[in-house]
């Protein structure tokens, strides 16, 4: 119990100490832009490709403030609550010690800590999806599926509630639900080896999910007009999918040599689970560790959606499979040694996340651009300067960048995308946020600004401010130089009098050239 309490405390520290480590990345910026809207907007216009339940809860959470720490703390608390959702189910079928060990592995999961530190819907989706899975697994394991049974009615209602909530949290939940249902039917057939009981289970699963789909159907019909086409995503190759799976389900920070032993243990745990695990546990493992990643990958041929955050359930299935493997070991000494080794590896992996210096892979170089701007904004705030100019390459960064600049009384926004130039001032952006995402992008592209307007913006800066923050990419350097600016060789921010330019995410001082 002392060890378990220590791991819980460590997991709490790992989650909360990292809440302000990174700036908001693009997706978090979009979340903030959406939850900054009135409640009435969230359920009346599809502002994102995803449903509005998470945004509604996150907006209510703003009662605790809209700082990075306050907003991200919701996901951190949800991440800590996830083992509590699983604990009664695991304890019922495997015992208290096994349930505690599963909780430890989940709490020390590198990937789950990552997604407990962002204002996105994945932590909430895991809560609802796991709760729904447990209810329908327990329901279909009953010998009598008649609605006359109180337990059948209660578990059916709870499943409908949790699964509907999952679908209103993230669209990928429909793929997860289908994979879960298929796993239940498959395990039922493997156990009974007869068609009649399997058909009963299939009928129960189909009937209860029909109700869920009926409750969820209004939203996808409502949002079809402005759904994201995910054109920026590409279907992963088999090798790429396996790599993503291994990085997701196991501890990170140890490279291929660290991932391979964990994958071997997971495969062994799956084999032992098929042979020795109680049926409800077997369904849970197969659904989360195998069926959901496979279903998400297959779905990717229609819409590319295979990434670590859409297969987080694999971490839960893998944790349970490892515990089943440990239970089956013949030697108590071997069991204790392997348990200690796993906990040490998982813990060390979490330390690499907390102590890392760079951004996460899925956030890409765009996060570094926002990270640099956060540093600039913080320094400008300390000096009291209230005006700045922003240049960036893509419109997707704007919400995250605006979050760090929103408190300045005067702002000039200049957006450069490829070879076209657009301006966004604060008043325009306030109205701009109230337009659905797809229309927002079209509206932006439809309003290019002439070069003369760009030049007048630069002239205004020369007259009214002593410092500006210029963000762009190397391809835009000739344009900026043509406006009368040149770069000095300094590689640090100048906080007192000079403008700042980011080239390849490297800060450099920028001063007006002498004409």
pLDDT, tens digit, 9 for 90 and up, residues 161-208: 999 999 999 989 999 999 999 999 999 998 888 888 889 999 999 999
**Residue 35 in domain:** no
Confidence of residue 319 (pLDDT cuts 50, 70, 90): very high
Distance CA 183, CA 17 (A): 38
- Average pLDDT of the segment spanning 53-66: 94
Q: Mark which of 357, 389, 421 sits at the end of a domain.
A: 357
Q: Mark which of 338, 357, 376 sits at the end of a domain.
A: 357
pTM of the model: 0.82
Element at 59 (helix H, strand E): helix 53-60
- Average pLDDT of the segment spanning 138-158: 90
Distance CA 141, CA 89 (A): 13
pLDDT digit string, tens, across residues 94-125: 999 999 999 999 999 999 999 999 999 999 99
Confidence of residue 493 (pLDDT cuts 50, 70, 90): very low
**Residue 51 in domain:** no
pLDDT digit string, tens, across residues 441-486: 444 444 554 555 545 544 443 333 333 344 444 455 565 555 544 4
Question: Domain check: are 427 and 340 in the same one?
Answer: no
Confidence of residue 330 (pLDDT cuts 50, 70, 90): confident
Question: Domain check: are 263 and 379 in the same one?
Answer: no
How many residues in the chain?
515
CA end-to-end distance (rounded Å), the chain: 74
Question: Domain check: are 410 and 344 in the same one?
Answer: no
**Residue 42 in domain:** no
- Model confidence at 412: pLDDT above 90: no
pLDDT digit string, tens, across residues 246-296: 888 888 766 666 678 888 889 999 999 998 999 999 999 999 999 999 999
Distance CA 299, CA 152 (A): 32
**Residue 50 in domain:** no
Are 234 and 225 a contacting pair, CB within 8 Å? no
DSSP state of 236: P
Distance CA 464, CA 381 (A): 17
- Model confidence at 317: pLDDT above 70: yes
Of the CA atoms within 13 Å of residue 174, those in its CB half-sphere come to 15
Distance CA 159, CA 49 (A): 24
Output the DSSP codes for 127-175: HHHHHHHHHHHHHHTSS---TTSHHHHHHHHHHHHHHHHHHTT-TTHHH
Question: Domain check: are 103 and 246 in the same one?
Answer: yes
Task: State phi, psi for 449 to the nearest 5 degrees.
Answer: -110, 130
Predicted local distance difference test score (pLDDT) of residue 60: 95
Are 214 and 164 a contacting pair, CB within 8 Å? no
Q: Mark which of 318, 342, 357 sits at the end of a domain.
A: 357
Question: Domain check: are 215 and 274 in the same one?
Answer: yes
Element at 242 (helix H, strand E): helix 238-249
State which residues form the domain around 235: 2-20+67-357
Q: What is the CA radius of gyration of the chain?
A: 26
Predicted local distance difference test score (pLDDT) of residue 165: 97
Predicted local distance difference test score (pLDDT) of residue 363: 58
Confidence of residue 414 (pLDDT cuts 50, 70, 90): very low
Question: Domain check: are 191 and 333 in the same one?
Answer: yes
CA–CA distances in Å: residue 140 to residues 146, 169, 224, 267, 336? 11, 25, 34, 26, 34
Predicted local distance difference test score (pLDDT) of residue 370: 72
Are 286 and 277 a contacting pair, CB within 8 Å? no
**Residue 29 in domain:** no
């Amino acid at each position: 119990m002392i060890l378990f309490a220590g791991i819980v405390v460590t997991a709490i520290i790992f989650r909360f100490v990292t809440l302000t480590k990174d700036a908001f990345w693009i997706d978090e910026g979009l979340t903030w832009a959406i939850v900054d809207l009135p409640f009435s907007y969230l359920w009346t216009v599809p502002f994102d490709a995803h449903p509005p339940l998470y945004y509604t809860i996150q907006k209510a959470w703003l009662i605790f403030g809209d700082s990075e720490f306050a907003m991200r703390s919701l996901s951190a608390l949800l991440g800590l609550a996830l083992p509590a959702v699983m604990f009664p189910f695991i304890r019922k079928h495997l015992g208290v010690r096994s349930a505690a060990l599963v909780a430890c592995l989940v709490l020390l999961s590198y990937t789950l800590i990552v997604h407990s530190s962002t204002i996105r819907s994945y932590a909430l989706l895991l809560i609802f999806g796991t709760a729904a899975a447990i209810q329908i697994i327990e329901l279909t394991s009953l010998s009598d599926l008649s609605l006359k049974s109180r337990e059948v009615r209660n578990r059916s209602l709870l499943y409908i509630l949790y699964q509907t909530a999952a679908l209103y949290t993230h669209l990928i939940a429909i793929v997860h639900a289908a994979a879960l249902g298929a796993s239940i039917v498959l395990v039922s057939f493997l156990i009974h080896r007869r068609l009649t009981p399997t058909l009963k289970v299939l009928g129960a699963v189909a009937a209860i999910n029909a109700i869920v789909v009926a409750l969820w159907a209004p939203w996808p019909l409502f949002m079809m007009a402005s759904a994201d086409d995910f054109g920026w995503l590409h279907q992963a190759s088999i090798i790429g999918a396996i790599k993503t799976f291994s990085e997701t389900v196991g501890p990170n920070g140890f490279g291929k040599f660290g991932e391979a032993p964990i994958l071997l243990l997971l495969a062994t745990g799956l084999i032992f689970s098929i042979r020795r695990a109680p049926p409800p546990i077997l369904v849970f493992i197969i659904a989360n560790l195998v069926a959901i990643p496979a279903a998400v990958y297959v779905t990717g041929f229609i819409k590319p959606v295979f990434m670590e955050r859409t297969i987080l359930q694999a971490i839960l299935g893998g944790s349970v499979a490892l515990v089943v493997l440990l239970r089956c070991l013949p030697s108590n000494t071997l069991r204790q040694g392997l348990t200690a080794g796993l906990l040490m590896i998982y813990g060390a992996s979490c330390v690499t996340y907390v102590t890392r210096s760079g951004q996460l892979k899925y956030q890409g170089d765009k996060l570094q651009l926002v990270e640099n701007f956060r540093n600039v904004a913080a320094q400008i705030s300390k000096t009291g300067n209230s005006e700045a100019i922003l240049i960036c390459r893509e419109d997707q960064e704007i919400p995250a960048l605006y979050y760090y600049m929103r408190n300045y009384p005067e702002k000039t926004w200049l957006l450069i995308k490829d070879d076209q130039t657009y301006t966004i001032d604060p008043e325009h952006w306030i109205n701009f946020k109230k337009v659905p995402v797809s229309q927002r992008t079209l509206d932006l592209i439809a309003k290019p600004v002439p070069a003369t307007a760009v030049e007048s913006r630069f002239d205004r800066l020369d007259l009214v401010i002593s410092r500006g923050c210029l963000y762009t990419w190397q391809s835009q350097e000739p344009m900026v130089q043509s406006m009368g600016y040149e770069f000095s060789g300094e590689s640090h921010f100048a906080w007192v009098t000079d403008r700042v330019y980011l080239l390849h995410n490297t800060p450099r001082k920028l001063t007006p050239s002498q004409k």
